[in-house]
Amino acid sequence: MLFSIFVFIVVLSVLIFVHELGHFVSAKLCNIYVDQFSIGMPPRLLGIKIGETDYCIGALPIGGYVKMAGQEDVPLDDKEREETYGHVPPERWFKFRPIWQRYIVIISGPFMNFVLAIFIYIILVSKGTLMPEMEIDSRIGKIEENSPAYNAPLFIYNESKKNRNDYPENPDDIGWKTGDRILFINGNAVRKFSDLFVNATLGGPSEVHKVIIERETPFGEKKKYISFIKPEIIEGSELPRYGVSPFYSALLKEVIKDMPAEKAGLKSGDIILSANGIVVDRTTFVELTEQAPINQNISLVIDRNGEKKHIQVVPVTVGRLRGISLVETLLSSENKKGLLVLDIDTEMQTKTGLRRKDIITKINGEYFTLENLHQFEREHPGETIELEVYRPPVLFGLLEKSSNLKLKVSLEPVQAIGVVLGEKLIKVNYPVSRWLPEAFKRSYEDLKQTVLVLKGLIIGAVSPKVLGGPIMIFDATSKAASMGIDWLLGLMALVSVNLAVVNLLPIPILDGSLVLMLTIESLRKRPISPKMQERFQQLGFVIIILLLLLVSWNDIRRILSDIIP
């Protein structure tokens, strides 16, 4: 926890420092008197005065500021102004500088956040990055049954035909398929899977989306289709979706000894491309295997070091705790390992009585590791087992006390070939000439996505429930730090772009409000009156408080949903 807090403070401090540095440097270049450069908000903890400027650190690490003569967040009266800046020549006051210089000073903060994102991405691009497939490809994995994608009509793509009416009544095919690559949505190029999510959410369910799909046939030929589809708010989600999951290759991490996969010649590192002529990813391969008829061959096409091979394998019947995700955890009272329920689907929860966060301490009276459990499942398909379960208290025991349960669970018989699937990571390297263009491209994509989300919030396509505050950022930085420096830097770049965009919103107290007032001043040919500025700042204070309350409630709601099973 202490490390997570340290990382959070460092990330926040760097973002604020770079933002305020933009204001500071541009103010100095425009010969504006800078009284104070602060990272963190008052009270002042420590600092040093060099020349006319006090460089300091505030006690509250939630912001920062550059204090300039003649730039007042809260308007001063004549006496206060004279006491504070009476010694400063008027030509060095912010408000007396030319409007174009004031624009530069204000915009420099958000601009530097965007520059920081580009700099971070240059670091990531230059060192090469191991990335999940969904971050660099737009292939789709499992299609949810009866979802928009499941029922979507597909027509062989013709560039001269743009609208649904240009195509015949009967489609050439129905439904997207696992392995399809999404190329364009409403004319926008799709580069990675998250682009699908953004387009579905922001495009919303009110309009038909035009989606260009590339599909590879069993003979290696690639065909393009156009699909006309409306996203829907599918049960269990708050946002419109097409009903597809990202594509994760069925990479064999481990081949279990004496199981059909080993006997058929499959090896660790093989990637299963198709099964019985159907393109599969990790999820769809597991489902196809589990539902295979007993004693029937499955014809696999695999990729082994870039070479395609055809392999026949006959699954065997094993038992499985389906719909439950388990991870090993140390038991506090014994020097043994238990099995923590990370996730469980609704059907299995109803059937077994297990819940998320339950800890399975014993199975049939014995302690089990995850490896022991998988071995036991293979040897006892269809059997009913007894679980001894410790159920932790909910909300520190206020909602529910801790308890110990005994539950009966059946090991559901399914078909399996005996492999452990892993995640395929792709090493992406770029030549030096591509570092800056690629870094700018990634920063621009973050910028575009942030603007689209804000647009969605304004038009009602995105629920305010998705907004988060400091707690959500803290949680995100903690998870990113645990995954490695590349993930943390990537998140930092994204947050920096978000900070740049949000700061340019015309909300009082933010930089965007000053840009708005400067624009009004340039149109009116005279400044806004101090009284109006004061009213504007008061309105901004109310808006900021309301936003803080909203994002804080969203953060609390997320915490409660995680605490309460």
β-strands 412-416, 403-410: how paired? unpaired
Are 241 and 160 in the same domain? yes
To which H or E segment does residue 224 belong?
strand 222-229
C-alpha distance from residue 57 to each of 31, 37, 88, 146 (Å): 24, 9, 24, 56
In this predicted structure, what is the pLDDT of residue 87?
82
Q: Is the pLDDT of residue 39 over 80?
A: yes
82-86, 217-221, 267-271: which has the minimum mean pLDDT?
A: 82-86
In this predicted structure, what is the pLDDT of residue 163?
86
Q: Which residues contact 99 (CB under 8 A, 6 or more apart)?
A: 518, 521, 522
Q: Is the pLDDT of residue 127 over 80?
A: yes
**Which two three-digit tokens encode residue 204?**
């919303």
328 in any annotated domain: yes
In this predicted structure, what is the pLDDT of residue 291?
92
Confidence of residue 235 (pLDDT cuts 50, 70, 90): confident
465 in any annotated domain: no
Q: Which long-range contacts (CB under 8 A, 24 or more apart) does 372-381 make?
A: 373/321, 373/326, 373/339, 376/319, 377/318, 377/319, 377/320, 377/321, 377/411, 378/256, 378/259, 378/318, 378/319, 378/416, 378/418, 380/319, 380/411, 381/317, 381/318, 381/319, 381/320, 381/411, 381/413, 381/414
146-155, 403-412, 448-457, 491-500: which has the minimum mean pLDDT?
A: 448-457
What average pLDDT score do residues 501-521 get? 85
What average pLDDT score do residues 105-116 get? 94
DSSP string, 259-306: SHHHHHT--TT-EEEEETTEE--HHHHHHHHHTSPTT--EEEEEEETT
To which H or E segment does residue 387 belong?
strand 384-391
459 in any annotated domain: no
478 in any annotated domain: no
What average pLDDT score do residues 484-495 get? 88
Are 338 and 267 in the same domain? no
Confidence of residue 560 (pLDDT cuts 50, 70, 90): low
438 in any annotated domain: no
In this predicted structure, what is the pLDDT of residue 77?
63
Are 376 and 399 in the same domain? yes
Are 8 and 121 in the same domain? yes
Q: What is the percent of the chain where pLDDT is above 90?
A: 36
In the set 20, 72, 377, 438, the catalytic residue is: 20
Mean pLDDT across the chain: 86
Q: Is the pLDDT of residue 134 over 70?
A: yes
In this predicted structure, what is the pLDDT of residue 172?
93
Confidence of residue 78 (pLDDT cuts 50, 70, 90): low
In this predicted structure, what is the pLDDT of residue 29?
93
Collapsed DSSP state (helix, strand, coil) of residue 83:
helix
Dmax (CA) for the chain in angstroms is: 92
| Residues 155, 181 contacting (CB under 8 angstroms) | no
Q: What is the pLDDT of residues 423-473, one digit of tens each?
A: 888 888 888 998 999 999 889 988 988 887 787 777 766 667 767 777 777
Of 416, 448, 470, which closes a domain? 416
Of 193, 214, 246, which closes a domain? 246
In this predicted structure, what is the pLDDT of residue 448?
84
Of 390, 416, 442, which closes a domain? 416
The total number of structural domains that make up the chain: 4
In this predicted structure, what is the pLDDT of residue 251?
95
Are 389 and 346 in the same domain? yes
What is d(CA 358, CA 324) in angstroms, rounded to the nearest whole number? 11
Q: Is 347 designated active site?
A: no
To which H or E segment does residue 23 belong?
helix 2-29
Are 241 and 261 in the same domain? no
40-44, 52-56, 108-112: which has the minimum mean pLDDT?
A: 40-44
Are 282 and 331 in the same domain? no
In this predicted structure, what is the pLDDT of residue 114?
95
For residue 392, the domain's CATH number is 2.30.42.10
Is-cis flag, bond preceding 43, omega within 30? Answer: yes
335 in any annotated domain: yes
Are 25 and 121 in the same domain? yes
Phi first, then psi: what are they for 172, rounded to 5°?
-80, -20
In this predicted structure, what is the pLDDT of residue 563?
63
359 in any annotated domain: yes
Q: Which domain holds residue 202?
A: 140-246
Are 215 and 295 in the same domain? no
**Which two three-digit tokens encode residue 84?**
């504070």
